[in-house]
Chains A and B, each alone.
Chain A
Amino acid sequence: MVYNSFQLGTAEFRTQATASKLRKLLELHPIVGVARYRDETEAVVLSPKVFESLIQDQEHLAEIKRTLPMLVAALQQGIAIPSDFLERVGITAGDDSWQALNAFQSHTPIYLSESEDGARLTTARMTPGEHLFDSDEELEELDDELTSVGS
Chain B
Amino acid sequence: MAVSPSTSHAWYPKADSYWVDPGQADEYPFRYGDVFSTPDHPGCVTSKGQRWSHVIILHPSCEINAKLADDTAVLVARVNRVESLSKRQHAVVRVGWREENLVTKVAHGNTFWLPPLPSQEDDIDWYADFRRLVPVDLKSLVESGREACMTHDARVYLIRREVYFKYRWNMTIDDAREFERQRIAGDPNFVGPKPSWD
Contacts and interface: CB of A to CB of B under 8 A. Distances in A.
Contact of A82 (B15, B72, B74, B101): B101
Contact of A126 (B69, B74, B179): B179
Given A84-B100, A149-B60, A112 B106 contact: yes
B96 interface: yes
A118 B105 contact: yes
Interface in B149-198: 168, 170-172, 175, 178-179, 182-183, 185-188
Contacts of A102: 12, 14-15, 94, 113, 115
Interface string B32-59: 0000000000000000000000000001
Interface string B63-80: 000001101111000000
B8 interface: yes
> What 5 pairs between A and B have smallest CB-CB spacing?
A131-B186, A151-B60, A109-B8, A105-B95, A98-B125
A119 B59 CA distance: 28
A123 B82 CA distance: 29
Contacts of B99: 82-83
A151 to B, nearest CB: 4
Interface in B1-25: 7-15
Interface residues of A, number: 39
> Is chain B's binding surface mostly helix, strand, loop or mixed?
loop
B103 to A, nearest CB: 5
A149 B57 CA distance: 13
A114 B60 contact: no
Contacts of B125: 98
Interface in A93-139: 96, 98-99, 101-106, 108-116, 118-119, 121-123, 125-126, 128, 130-131, 133
Given A111-B9, A115-B106, 6 more contacts: A82-B101, A83-B99, A105-B10, A109-B7, A112-B105, A146-B73
A115 B178 CA distance: 24
Contact of B95 (A84, A101, A111): A101
Contacts of A118: 105
Interface of A: 80, 82-84, 96, 98-99, 101-106, 108-116, 118-119, 121-123, 125-126, 128, 130-131, 133, 146-151
Interface of B: 7-15, 59-62, 68-69, 71-74, 82, 90-91, 94-97, 99-109, 113, 115, 123, 125, 168, 170-172, 175, 178-179, 182-183, 185-188
Contacts of B94: 96, 98, 101-102, 105
Given A98-B125, A149-B74, A106 B107 contact: no
A128 B178 contact: yes
Contacts of A83: 99
B183 A131 contact: yes
Contacts of B178: 128
